[in-house]
Structure 1
Amino acid sequence: MGLKIGVAGLGRVGAFHLDTLLAASAVGEVFVTDVVPEAIGSATGRYAGVTGCADVDAVLAAGVDGLVIASPAAGRVMPIERSVAAGVPVFCEPPIAMSSAESAAVRARCAAAGVPVVVGRHRRFDPAVRAARAAVSVGELGFVTAARSTTLDPAPPPMSSVAGSGGIFRDFAVHDFDTLCWVVGGDVVEVYATGGNQGDPGFTANDDVDSATAILTFASGAMGVVSVSRYNGRGHDCRLEVHGSTDSVVAGWDHRTPVRNLDPRCAFPSGTPHGSDLDRFARARRRELGEFCALIGGEPPSWQSPFAHSPLCSVEEAHEVALIADAATTSLHEKRPVRIDEIAAI
């Protein structure tokens, strides 16, 4: 029969997850819901094996083996908590909550329920990012001096999405924060952030910025730099650099990297720029969701890990990133360095 999986939220990412699940041999049936009834009708009309449900409770009542949550950020706590209360494992797009305090409460409830909850961190399933982590883990770089994660989108999302996003650090840069923590290892102890607006005035109206940079100080002394922007007309740019005392490595430099090289002696990059995150990380996202299905189905991992544990992101790890995002948000508004223990104590 295969697994029965629920999908809550059928927007851009939810629709991608639905396509992935329907193509997976381990999945037999998919039950979907969305706050927009037309989205449910579109999904059930396009695909066989998809059943529409009025809400998350109806999806859970169908006896699903797992729930994939891709609904808007402000509405993810309820389906997570309903699912774990029903004993159903969860895969949730980040962020899981709108603040680190709220994510701490979700973390506690999930721990008490003892039900697997995975938070989406698809970059961990990108081969180059994983190779960078492996290089750091075995000491190929010596001690890490600095790591940089850059994410630039070609255009901003609708202002209706920005209004309920929680800000650029909670909504957008969480993947960069997680990547640096996962690759470098160790705790972040302090954050300094800055940002600004030169595009749509809606960002300012929503107390947000369209471009930002955060400097992370790790307990080891390593420095992390995160640069993000909603405006990069050439395409979707996502890159990682890790510099150490004996070597340096990069991930995300390929022939579709959306930069224009002005060196006349070099033809790199030569391909069509990446158009979006779903374009850039399509295979990584499929691998990640495949490993979630393997986890709940009791099968061997679909994407073998060279490490002692699965690269799937736990709620505990997601909460640590939420603390960094809140520290960056506070630093942006108060224009000062913010320690992580200050945010954790709130």
Structure 2
Amino acid sequence: MVKHAAQVPEAPVLIGFQRRFDAGYNRARAAYRAGEFGPVHTLHATTLDAAPPSAAYVPTSGGLFRDCSSHDFDAIAWLTGRQAVSIYTVGSNMGEPFFGDLGDVDSGSSLVTYDDGMVALVSASRNSGAGHDVRLEIFGIDGGMFVGLDDRAPLVTAEETLSWAQGEPYLVYHERFEGAYVAELAHFLDVLEGAPSKACTPAEALEALYIAEAANRSLASGAPVLISDLKN
């Protein structure tokens, strides 16, 4: 029997899901694993690009959910240890017409249900004119936490007062995740010298891809999709 490539353990393979190396995501993971939030009922995850890519990029991108939301699908699984059960996805084109012309959407949201009953709303867009916006919000019975709500988060308050200083918003992903990329590269070099890998494995990346593919199928059908249907 031929082994699936994601199941071959002989060679070290590191998948570049950089949220696993971001300091904020790691603090949130540690707090979740320590039970600080109690049972978590809701997550909100966003990956919002400040400006759309070129039309030439879209056919090679895999689509919005594989290109953008897959990072959040992996981050949620890595942070919580939970497995996605089903997904319902909607999407639209509110900006450049070439996304629709090329069979993609420029904005979309997925409602993902996990094996413990937790629900995650995962949103992605190519049109966040306020700035590059990647955040995770965790809501539990005993508490909650934000990831990515720093002084460069591209949010404008509707309230009269704001308790933190706001700087120039992030414009591109490598600004938002500069520290994570540095840590990820350092870890890659450590693995080359024999250290055990703590990066995303091929099997874990495949799980994120299953969810992204299910998102595409749900968008096309207008109905929820069971993740298990893609594995049978």
1:335 matched to which residue of 2? 222
1:47 matched to which residue of 2? none
Q: Distance in 1 between matches of 2:88 and 2:7?
A: 31
Describe the shift of the 1:113–1:242 C-alpha distance in structure 2 as closer, same or farther (beyond 3 A).
closer
Q: Does 1:115 align with 2:11?
A: yes
Residues 210 and 230, structure 1, Cα contact 8 Å, conserved in 2:
yes
The structure whose Rg is larger is 1
Q: Distance in 2 between matches of 1:332 and 1:238?
A: 22
- Of residues 36, 49, 59, the one that matches 1:163 is 59
Q: Distance in 1 between matches of 2:80 and 2:137?
A: 11
Greater RCO, CA 8 A, separation 6+: 2
Number of aligned residue pairs: 231
Residues 149 and 227, structure 1, Cα contact 8 Å, conserved in 2:
yes
Q: Does 1:288 align with 2:176?
A: no
Deviations 1:175-229 (A, max 9, x none): 1111111112211000000000011111011110000000110000000110110
TM-score by length of 1: 0.64
2:134 matched to which residue of 1? 238
Describe the shift of the 1:195–1:269 C-alpha distance in structure 2 as closer, same or farther (beyond 3 A).
farther
Q: Distance in 2 between matches of 1:152 and 1:255?
A: 17
Q: Does 1:278 align with 2:174?
A: yes
Q: How does 1:135-150 map to 2 (within 5 A)?
A: 135-150=31-46
Q: Distance in 1 between matches of 2:9 and 2:131?
A: 42
- Of residues 172, 188, 200, the one that matches 1:313 is 200
Q: How does 1:1-346 map to 2 (within 5 A)?
A: 108-109=4-5, 111-112=7-8, 114-266=10-162, 268-299=164-195, 310-345=197-232
Deviations 1:37-81 (A, max 9, x none): xxxxxxxxxxxxxxxxxxxxxxxxxxxxxxxxxxxxxxxxxxxxx
Residues 45 and 121, structure 2, Cα contact 8 Å, conserved in 1:
yes
Q: Distance in 2 between matches of 1:343 and 1:269?
A: 46
Which amino acid is 2:68 matched to?
Answer: F
Residues 44 and 136, structure 2, Cα contact 8 Å, conserved in 1:
yes
**Percent identical:** 38
Q: Distance in 2 between matches of 1:224 and 1:295?
A: 32
Q: CA deviation at 1:265?
A: 1.7
- What SS does the aligned partner of 1:175 have? helix
Describe the shift of the 1:289–1:180 C-alpha distance in structure 2 as closer, same or farther (beyond 3 A).
same
Residues 152 and 238, structure 1, Cα contact 8 Å, conserved in 2:
yes
Q: List alignment gaps of at least 5 residues for structure 2.
A: none
Q: Distance in 2 between matches of 1:281 and 1:120?
A: 12
Q: Distance in 1 between matches of 2:77 and 2:47?
A: 16
Residues 125 and 311, structure 1, Cα contact 8 Å, conserved in 2:
no
Deviations 1:155-192 (A, max 9, x none): 11111110122211111111111111111221100000
Residues 6 and 203, structure 2, Cα contact 8 Å, conserved in 1:
no
Q: CA deviation at 1:344?
A: 1.2
The farther-off stretch of 269-278 and 250-259 is 269-278
Q: CA deviation at 1:111?
A: 3.9
Q: Distance in 2 between matches of 1:221 and 1:174?
A: 20
Residues 6 and 206, structure 2, Cα contact 8 Å, conserved in 1:
no
Q: List alignment gaps of at least 5 residues for structure 1.
A: 1-104, 302-309
Residues 216 and 223, structure 1, Cα contact 8 Å, conserved in 2:
yes
